[in-house]
Structure 1
């Protein structure tokens, strides 16, 4: 069993602000000050850094430590849209190298559009054991999101308002919905939102690409 490396890549023409928020747990990497590339700390579990065009950073958690959290681009995670981000914010979510904290657990990756979507994000999964999105998708190597309302059938993507993939049960309550969001939310027809593999199969690389902003008129 190896360890899985995370790479974040700016595949856009302008520099971006990258927010990393870490999950807490026993044997987790949860202290943001221990992440060498995070230059600005907003709280003990969150910080951000600037990534220039065509630049990347990589991170491999210490042996025996689970690396779990999310990446947001140009804004920290938001539950509801704002004037600056009227389409809300989407997240690149990940749980990697989780065997030591729970040998029966899974490594998982996904894109969450539950609270909106401001960014085109792509995942590339390479050089390790197969990832899957359930029995109908046994070998997933890449996935990406589309604008809100256009992700049905898109593996690895939680649609707007659909906090359990195939249903909207307890999404964030907001006074207004993100620009372009369907009303009511339209869930996936299959449980294909989580891309996963057994934690014992860790290894290889998970690359998260920022592909650019979603234009505000994409409805």
Structure 2
């Protein structure tokens, strides 16, 4: 991907053999948020069709990519494929929410000294296989040991234990469920045994890529 700016961009890539609908949910403005009080919004990207004030969508053709350039502003939100993020959809196919939906979450270019971060959340289930990639040797790390990492991906619904950068199903606190399960009809976990669910760094620059893939790609 390479560093081309002193701030971080985001790219979405469809690595599958069919076009896909992509949903982008943006963080709201919040003056009390010291890291990202005025993030970019759906109105900042002309290629998005507006769903509501915090969500847009677009069609991404097969084997194509779409870049999001926040022009140095904080970019915080999530990416989902096929349908809007939600819990299981009765009588649906896998991609359309039979076992819920997973999303790629990220906060890029927050105000100093806040860290950039990303993860794949399977808290609300799994409806596709995602991968997230970043440039090597730019400070991205995870877990108590701050282990360097440049690629994360999710597996099936209950197959993410030990998988860095991934929140398992119904595990709102990574290592456990806090409060009521977001998707009561789904199982819980198995949870992570250590806090390995977030990838983060203090640096800026380069790109975070969210890829829709098939199991054969992982």
TM-score, reference length from structure 2:
0.86
Contact 1:162–1:171 (Cα < 8 Å) also in 2: no
**Quick check: 2:170–2:189 contact (8 Å CA) kept in 1?**
yes
Partner of 2:46: 36
Q: Please give the alpha-carbon distance, in whole angstroms, between the structure 2 residues aligned to 1:174 and 1:127.
A: 35
Aligned residue number for residue 90 of structure 1 = 102
Contact kept, 8 Å, 1:20 with 1:48, in 2: the verdict is yes
**C-alpha displacement at 1:213, in angstroms?**
8.3
In structure 2, relative to structure 1, the CA distance for the partners of 1:174 and 1:162 (3 Å cut) is closer
Give the number of aligned pairs. Answer: 200
Measured in 2, the distance between the counterparts of 1:147 and 1:44 equals 32
CA distance in 1, matches of 2:178, 2:85: 20
Residue deviations 1:148-203 (CA, integer Å, cap 9, x gap) = 111111000000000110111135444522xxxxx3432100100000011xx111
CA distance in structure 2 between the aligned counterparts of 1:171 and 1:160, rounded to whole angstroms: 13
Question: Could you say what secondary structure the match of 2:43 adopts?
Answer: helix
- Of 193, 198, 204, which aligns to 1:194? 198
SS at match of 1:109: strand
Q: 1:171, 1:138 → 2: CA distance?
A: 31
RMSD (Å), alpha carbons: 1.9
The one of 121, 125, 131 equivalent to 2:140 is: 131
What is the CA–CA distance in structure 2 between the aligned matches of 1:128 and 1:36, rounded to whole Å?
A: 33
Task: Note the alpha carbon deviations across 1:55-94, whole angstroms, 9 max, x for none.
Answer: 101112123x21000001011111x201221110000001
Gaps of 5+ in 2: 30-36
Where in structure 1 are there 5+ consecutive unaligned residues?
A: 178-182, 215-219
Q: Does 1:81 align with 2:83?
A: no
Relative to structure 1, the CA distance from residue 174 to residue 150 in structure 2 (aligned partners, 3 Å threshold; closer, same or farther) is: closer
